[in-house]
Structure 1
Amino acid sequence: MLAGLLVNALLSTGTDAVLHATGIYPPVGQPMSDALFGLATAYRVVFGILGFYVTARLAPDRPMRHVLWLGVVGLALSTLGAVATWGKGPEFGPTWYPLLLIATVMPCAWVGGRLGEARLSAARRA
């Protein structure tokens, strides 16, 4: 599970850093537009699915169980992030952003887990 969490965290924060460094995102601590938060949501969904896929592929058994447990961890972390930043000002983003991150965790877990299971099934058949 740790590998999937790291994949997601490293890719998300790395992409954030690149987008800040290239000027696509404003400097850290400055407000961003809703469109840029939409972009952040989009790649976080993709990276989340990838992290859950990695978790499924590396699971020693019952990959979906590992994925769903990681989903619960992601749900808790997303909720903590929302609570910590709620009402702290525009530099922390619009109120819909952390709610959307919370709402997408478990669907991403399911998709990533199913893709990982499908890949494992295909590898066993080969």
Structure 2
Amino acid sequence: MNPKTKSILKSIGAVFTGILINVIPAIAIDAILHITNCYPPMGERMSDNLFILAISYRLALAILGGFYTAKLSPYSPIGHVIVLGVIGTIASTLGHIQMGDQGPAWYSIGLIVISIPLSWLGGFIYLKRRG
């Protein structure tokens, strides 16, 4: 495999890892909270306090995803993190449209707004720790 192809694959892998770090734990936590009745059954509207809980772990996961995307990127860690944030913004926008009136607007709009800054923050933390 030539070096350019290898670099492209590493770039895709870095961003994909960041996506997985954002998505898989959030889905797992949501499922656990529904199963344990901390969240209401699927399809029922949650209280604002529960949406605060949901956004809190999504904030942490966005930072963690940015951290590992930067760590795994073969070059330009912040560039890779911005790509991750843009993908998160697009996914959150689609989620906002799909969510409709099932939750407060601040929650889904908040996810749109934080995608790029928190992904960047995770990359920034990685670069600061790396030295």
Normalised-by-shorter TM-score class = 0.7 to 0.9
**Inter-partner Cα distance in structure 2 for 1:65 and 1:95:** 29
Q: Give aligned pairs, total.
A: 117
Match of 2:99 in 1: 85
- Match among 86, 109, 114 for residue 104 of structure 1: 114
Shift of 1:110: 1.7
**Inter-partner Cα distance in structure 2 for 1:70 and 1:103:** 13
**Inter-partner Cα distance in structure 1 for 2:21 and 2:110:** 20
Match of 1:36 in 2: 50
Shift of 1:22: 1.0
- Match among 70, 75, 97 for residue 56 of structure 1: 70
Pairing 1:114–2:124 present: yes
Match of 1:45 in 2: 59
Match of 2:3 in 1: none
**Inter-partner Cα distance in structure 2 for 1:5 and 1:30:** 27
- 5+ residue gaps in structure 2? 1-14
Give, as a single letter, the amino acid of the residue that structure 2 aligns with 1:96.
W
TM (norm. structure 1) is 0.88
- 5+ residue gaps in structure 1? 122-126
Identity %: 43
Pairing 1:24–2:38 present: yes
**Inter-partner Cα distance in structure 1 for 2:99 and 2:124:** 32
**Inter-partner Cα distance in structure 1 for 2:92 and 2:81:** 16
Shift of 1:106: 1.6
**Inter-partner Cα distance in structure 2 for 1:21 and 1:64:** 37
**Inter-partner Cα distance in structure 2 for 1:29 and 1:112:** 32
Shift of 1:119: 2.7
- Residue 85 of structure 2 aligns to a residue in which SS? helix
Give, as a single letter, the amino acid of the residue that structure 1 aligns with 2:124.
R
Alignment root-mean-square deviation, CA = 1.1
Give, as a single letter, the amino acid of the residue that structure 2 aligns with 1:120.
R
Shift of 1:104: 1.1
**Inter-partner Cα distance in structure 1 for 2:108 and 2:47:** 15
TM (norm. structure 2) is 0.85
